[in-house]
Every structure is written in structure tokens, then in C-alpha cells.
Structure 1
Amino acid sequence: MSKTIVLLGTFDTKGREFAYIKEIIEKRGHQTILIDAGIMGSPLIQPDISRKEVAFKGGSTIEELVSKKDRGFAIDIMSKGASAIVQELYKEGKLDGIISLGGSGGTALATAAMRTLPVGIPKVMVSTMASGDTKPYVGVKDISMMYSVVDISGINRLSASILTNAAGAICGMVEVELPKKSKASGEKPLIGATMFGVTTPCVERVRSILEENGCEVLVFHATGTGGMAMESLIESGFINAVADITTTEWCDELVGGVLSAGPTRLDAAGKAGIPQVVSVGALDMVNFGPMDTVPEKFRSRKLYKHNPTVTLMRTTVEENRKLGEIIAEKLNKAKGPVVLFIPLKGVSAIDREGMPFYDPEADAALFESIKEHLKPHVEIREMNCHINDPEFAEAMAKTLLQLIKK
């Protein structure tokens, strides 16, 4: 069945390359829509949607962008315009997949538009930037980044191979059929859960119980992007309830670690009013890279080499007091049912008696701060066990099932 694939990019500098992949896509029997987001030179391939239309949708004109001679401003305008057009095409059923080619500017522009599309819509970005830090481009969406190896400048034996593979990739993505869900599976509550290696036993037990009771569980690794991805899916209406066991990303946001999910972490479920059970998983640790990357000001702190690329730093009494206040304030705003679970014997695998981060005083500061700032309408359950003890996980899972049924 023929599908429609959008080709978005700067046709003044990458027109020949876009023409090359357009031909491959159309030979596979698919339709293309070409969106030109170039600014300076003349397009080297005829677009279906012109740069004038893109600039207009972005709130400006091509003439203004040319006269300003401000590349950053121009990319911002064309990104906004391209994003608006891509959204319109998707809503009109005229976009089954999207592909782009570019350097740093083209990649920033095209992926901004790609990020406005739902998860599941095929997105391929061939980029000179794909072998470095792709987080600014990918965000929390399923964008497939392909490294161009050489600059995207002409068709040669190497670039032809890369571009052919890219065209084949987007064609394969739009052609493949997703498994059909039965009516029963489509009615399953979709649950978001957060996990770290140090909270895995708890989360795995919670997941198992929820699945045994007819739920489908998405487990997010609490590495910053994981928390952001869950928050994004909640905002999009995909997730029906949350087992937010591992709220550790707030440690990195507060103290300055490398795995922050930003200041809106813990907001989405409350705003959506969906049922949530929340705990304090891994609030004993801040994350850094290898030991030699830990900032000098933290070198005298309690550090733990988790593996060669991850160093953990124990949170202090003062930091835990602040974390407790933040967690409480977030949950106080929840519009739906929420129960907070506190494991009195430790919040991670390395925060139990005899382990490196065992610190009853720091944990007590966290728990007391939460209780001090939590409003009466938010239920709190303290359990005299460790977060990874089976009874703790079972209590969280059963409580969430009860909230969902209500």
C-alpha cells in the first residue's frame, strides 16, 4: 500500500541529495511531499511546499530573513514554520513518515519538526551530528539518527550508500505493519513505572503484579531522558496510571548531576489527574560520569564507583530535606488520587545496613521533610521495610490497582 513520506530540508544546499532519496522512495511505490526550508540560494529541486510558505507559518518572510543575515534567527523561524506545516500534514492524514538530511543547522531545524509528531510515526535524520551528543535533537521522541560519515555535499560512492540506506530505512518503517491488538489488550490500563538498577527488584515485582492483573506496563529508566519521556507520554494521554517508584532524577536537578529530568518532573500525572503511587527510590544518590568528571567541589563527598562510566554521590541531610519539600509540593498539586510510600529501611540497593550509602540520618531528614510539607489530602504510607523488599512492592502494586478500579 502506497504511503506518503515527507522530505524536509534546505533544498538550496542539499537539493541534489534530496532528489536522490526522493527517486528511491518513489521507485518503491510511495508518494513524497517536499518541504523547502532553505533561505539563501535557489532550490535545486522543486518543492511541493515552498520556503515562502514555511517562513510565513513561522511568522516572518523570506525577504526579512535574508535581510537580517542572522542565521540563528532564520533557523528559529523556519523551524517554527516547518513544525506547523508538518503538524497540519499529519492531522490531515498526509504524513506516514518523515526524513531529512543536514548539518548542524539542518538537523536542528528538521528534528524540531519531527519532535512535534507522536511516538510511532517513522522519523529518520541523516546528519553530520549523529555521532556526537544527539540529545538536543532527539529529545524524548523516537527519531532515528543516521551518521552521514562524510559531509552531505554531493553524490559519491560513499554518500550514495548512506543515502540509499536512509531511503530504504524510511520506506521499511512506513511499510511495516504494527501487530494488531485484540479488543481486550486495547482496553488494558497502560501504566508508567520508573526504575534504576538500584530499585530493579521493587519495580520488577510491581510490574509482574500489575501485568498479572490485566495491566500493560511501560518501564522508564530514570536517567533524565527516561523521566522526561514518561512525563511527555502522560501529557499526550497515553498513560492511564503511574507507579513512580524511582524519583531520583530530582537529586540531579537539585544538586547538579548529569541525569536531571528538569524542573517539571512529577508534574504531568498530577495535572492529568491520573492515579499514581509514588516513592522515594534512589533519592540517596546524585549521578556523574567517570570518577575524574566529578566536579572539584564534590570530591570530598561520599562517592561510589557504580561502574567505569558512572559515579554516584550520596545526598546529604540538607539536600534530603530539600528533596522532601520538593516531592511534597509536587504531589500536593495532584488533581487525581495519589499515595506516597516510604520505605523506612532504605531507598536503594546501596542504602541498607552494611552498604556504602547507608545513612539513617539522611533518610530520616527526607522522610520527615515529606511528612512536614505534604498536605492532608495526599495519603502517606510508611512501611518498616526496604524499598526492594517484596512486601513493599506488593503494597504499591495492590494500592495502584485499587486506585485504578475506583
Structure 2
Amino acid sequence: MKPRILLIGTGDTKADELLFMSDCIAKAGGEPIMMDISVLGDPPYAARYDKHAVAAAAQTTIEVIAASGDENSAMSLMAIGAANLTRDLAQDDAIDAVIAIGGTMGTDLALDVAQALPLGMPKLIVSTVAFSHLIPPERIAADLMMILWAGGLYGLNGTCKAVLTQACGAIVGAARSTIRPRNERPVVAITSLGKSCLSYMVELKPQLERRGYEVVVFHTTGMGGRAMESIAAQGGFAAVLDLSLQEVANQLTGSVVNSGADRLENAGKAGTPQIVAPGAIDMVDFPAWLPTPKELVERPFHAHNRLLASATSRPDDRRRIARAIANKLSQARAPVAFVLPAGGIQQWDREGEALHDPEGLSAFVSEMRSAVAPPVELHEIKEHINSAAFNERVLQIFDKWVAAGIVPAGKTTVAA
């Protein structure tokens, strides 16, 4: 296999870098296919997909884009064209992977391109702002790879060549070795934290697999929830068991450990049935290597590791979180069941544990009871979220929905 690698960049300003990358891709055994996203100038090479083709994919012309007002509006229009054109190429099986290069402008465009591609098609962005907080979580595709473009502001040098060669080798290798999702069984998503905090996945995953489903568990520490939302937005799940909503609470309380403002919304918009529970909404996460935020200094505290720490939110914040959860669920276009474990919502809120806060739990449970309204189903249990009773109620609802045809039946056998 000689993988076809779509290489995207502004050829009028980064021709040296792009030609170097094209050569690296070819030497690694790939076929470089150039897409030029320049607006004002022209590259010193013939791109297979030039700026006119990109503009046409946005249903306009490069002249209109250049006269649109400023560099932001121009590149936003080019991003529409680049995303549309790349999506068409992927659907026509004309490319096997995509790599893009840029500063903030090129990265902004490349993020849209990545989101236009299906899960399993390798996508890599070489960026001067890789991993930066400038990039909001909701812009990041579920399986996006990024590498920091060290020394890459202007022109080639030994430092940036070291990065570019790694990136080109990585994208060719990924294109050769990737396994695309086959989805032979209906896919069910579960959100959770580590089993020391939320343990229901240990029981629910094998139970659902025995029923004929492929189960995908997402770690709700910011980017895990983002990946789930990204796939849910494309209708990638038969059902979602969104049982850990810590990222919703984080976003509402200003924590950087969040998945974006649309967390808990995309499955509902896509018409995917959801069973939801408030796992760990009482915790506000923050980087353990930074000072504790002043509003949390006096709150019960737990250091998970050297990266992540948590403190409990105040009762009034929990009431606000409850109302936000109910509002998000009310907008769903498919059935939603909310399971409310009145006995506790994460391991460390039990009596004697570091985050035990009965007043805060009571405030949340009380507000949730009044905030959830039909057609969302409210299922309150007296037990803790890490109890057998919680798992039994979730499976009871799931099995009822399967019997009613709301969730497609599982497949206990698949083709070899």
C-alpha cells in the first residue's frame, strides 16, 4: 500500500516547509497530494487542489474571498471550502490520511478539516499552538493527532525539520496501520472516571457485551467527554449511557478541565437515546500543579495525582448544575432517562471519605427532583451510584428500551 496523504497549507507563505514535507512523505513510502489554502499569493508549485478549487468547494471564488474584509473572514471561508473538499475526497476514497501545517490561521482551518473526517481516518496537525488553551475543546476531533511545531514560525531550520520529519513519518505510518471502525455490533457509549471513583462500568460493560453490543468507555477528564460528544454528533452510537457528568459541572464552574459548552447535548440533537446519571458532578477539577483556586481553598479536597486535583462545589453551585443538566436533557430529540442515586454520586463522597458533603448532595438531589420534567424520565434510587442497585436500574431501563425498539437489538454473533 502506498498511502495517499493530503498535505494542506498556505503555499504562498510556507512553500519551503510544504515541499520539504512532501519529500518526507514520499521518502516514507506515501503519495503526497497538495492542497493549497493561500488567499492572496500563489505557491511556486502546482498543487493538485489549488486555492480556486478550495474556494469553489465553499461555493464562491477566491476573488470574493480575498475581498471579504480581512484575514479572519477570508480564512474562515477557506476553511469551509477545505473542509468540504476534504470530506468529498474521503467519501470518494481518494485519500487515506490528512496532515496540515500552520500557525493560528492554519490551525484554525485545519481543525474544521479534521472534524469533517470520519473516525479512523488519520488526521494530524503540525501547529505552533498545539495543545494550547487557545484551542477550545469543541473544536477537537475525536481522534485528532497534533504535534508542536517547534521553531516553525518562519522558514526551515534543523529544529523544525526534526518535527516535520516526525510528523510526516507518523502520518504515513498511521495511514498504513489504522483499523477503521467496523461497527458489526450496535455501539453503546459509557462515560466514567477511573473505577476508584466510579465503578459501574466494571459491571455494565460485560453485561452489555453479553447482550450483543460493542461498548466504548470514555474517560470524563475533559478530552474524553469531547471525543464522546464528537462521535455522538455524527450519530455514532445506538445509545449513550452518560453516567459521569463531571465535565458539565467543570464547565459551569469555570474549570479548564471541561469538554466545551455543548457537553451533554450532541447525543440528544442526533436523536440518540440516553440514560444519564450525575456521576461526580460534585467535584470541581483543577490542575494539581497550580495553586488551589481561591474560591475552593476552604472546600473538601482530594489530590488524585500530580496532574489532577478536585474540590467539592458549594450547594448553590450544585443547584445551578442541576438546572443546567435538566435544561440540556429537555432539548433531546430521543428518549432520556435520568437516574438519580440519592445515596451518593462518587466514591469519595461517602461518609469518612475526603469529599463527604451531605449538605451539598442534598441540595443537588432536591434541585434535580424539581428540575427534571417530562418527557425526560426521572428514576430516583436511594442507593449510591457505586451500588448494585444502580447498575440494575440502568440495565432495567436499557432492556425496556430494547424491547420497545427504542434501542436496536444487539448482535450476539458477527461475521468472521
Aligned equivalents of 1:131, 1:284: Cα separation in 2 = 27
Aligned equivalents of 1:248, 1:28: Cα separation in 2 = 43
1:34 matched to 2:28: no
The DSSP-based 3-state class of the residue aligned with 1:263 is coil
Please tell me the root mean square deviation across aligned C-alpha atoms, in Å.
2.9
Amino acid across the alignment from 1:49: Y
Given the alignment, which residue of 175, 178, 190 partners 2:187? 190
Question: Which stretch shifts more, 312-321 or 114-123?
Answer: 312-321
**300 and 339 in structure 1: CA distance in 2 versus 1, 3 angstrom threshold:** same
The aligned counterpart of 2:203 is: 205
The DSSP-based 3-state class of the residue aligned with 2:191 is strand
Aligned equivalents of 1:25, 1:289: Cα separation in 2 = 38
The aligned counterpart of 1:234 is: 232
> 1:306-336 CA deviation, whole Å, 9 max, x = no partner?
3333332212222222222222233334333
The DSSP-based 3-state class of the residue aligned with 1:404 is helix
Given the alignment, which residue of 395, 401, 404 partners 1:403? 401
Deviation at 1:157, TM superposition (A): 5.2
The DSSP-based 3-state class of the residue aligned with 2:199 is helix
**190 and 362 in structure 1: CA distance in 2 versus 1, 3 angstrom threshold:** same
The DSSP-based 3-state class of the residue aligned with 1:368 is helix
The DSSP-based 3-state class of the residue aligned with 1:121 is coil
**246 and 74 in structure 1: CA distance in 2 versus 1, 3 angstrom threshold:** same
**395 and 29 in structure 1: CA distance in 2 versus 1, 3 angstrom threshold:** same
Deviation at 1:278, TM superposition (A): 1.3
Answer yes or no: is the 8 Å Cα contact 2:122–2:144 preserved in 1.
yes
Answer yes or no: is the 8 Å Cα contact 1:275–1:404 preserved in 2.
no
Aligned equivalents of 1:160, 1:267: Cα separation in 2 = 41
Question: Which stretch shifts more, 274-283 or 333-342?
Answer: 333-342
Question: Which stretch shifts more, 266-275 or 156-165?
Answer: 156-165
> 1:175-218 CA deviation, whole Å, 9 max, x = no partner?
2262896xxxx442211111123543122222222123222111
Aligned equivalents of 1:180, 1:100: Cα separation in 2 = 23
Answer yes or no: is the 8 Å Cα contact 1:242–1:276 preserved in 2.
yes
**140 and 245 in structure 1: CA distance in 2 versus 1, 3 angstrom threshold:** same
The DSSP-based 3-state class of the residue aligned with 2:339 is strand
The aligned counterpart of 2:74 is: 74
Alignment of 1:24-63 (within 5 A): 24-26=24-26, 30-58=30-58, 62-63=62-63
Aligned equivalents of 1:164, 1:211: Cα separation in 2 = 41
1:164 matched to 2:165: yes
Answer yes or no: is the 8 Å Cα contact 1:346–1:358 preserved in 2.
no
Answer yes or no: is the 8 Å Cα contact 1:199–1:246 preserved in 2.
no
Deviation at 1:246, TM superposition (A): 0.7
The DSSP-based 3-state class of the residue aligned with 2:348 is coil
The DSSP-based 3-state class of the residue aligned with 2:150 is coil
Alignment of 1:252-401 (within 5 A): 252-290=250-288, 292-401=290-399
The DSSP-based 3-state class of the residue aligned with 1:13 is coil
Answer yes or no: is the 8 Å Cα contact 2:122–2:174 preserved in 1.
yes
Aligned equivalents of 1:351, 1:290: Cα separation in 2 = 20
The DSSP-based 3-state class of the residue aligned with 1:20 is helix
Aligned equivalents of 2:94, 2:230: Cα separation in 1 = 24
Deviation at 1:56, TM superposition (A): 4.8
The DSSP-based 3-state class of the residue aligned with 2:147 is strand
What is the count of residue pairs matched by the alignment? 402
Answer yes or no: is the 8 Å Cα contact 1:21–1:167 preserved in 2.
yes
Answer yes or no: is the 8 Å Cα contact 2:58–2:81 preserved in 1.
yes
Answer yes or no: is the 8 Å Cα contact 2:234–2:270 preserved in 1.
no
> 1:217-258 CA deviation, whole Å, 9 max, x = no partner?
111111233223212212212111111111122212222222
Amino acid across the alignment from 1:113: V
- Aligned-residue sequence identity (percent) comes to 33
Structure with more helix by fraction: 1
Answer yes or no: is the 8 Å Cα contact 1:59–1:77 preserved in 2.
no
**128 and 323 in structure 1: CA distance in 2 versus 1, 3 angstrom threshold:** closer
The aligned counterpart of 1:143 is: 144
Answer yes or no: is the 8 Å Cα contact 1:16–1:44 preserved in 2.
no
Question: Which stretch shifts more, 78-87 or 278-287?
Answer: 78-87
Deviation at 1:291, TM superposition (A): 7.0
Amino acid across the alignment from 1:52: H
5+ residue gaps, structure 2, are 405-416
Alignment TM-score, normalising by the size of structure 2: 0.85
1:176 matched to 2:177: yes
Deviation at 1:108, TM superposition (A): 2.6
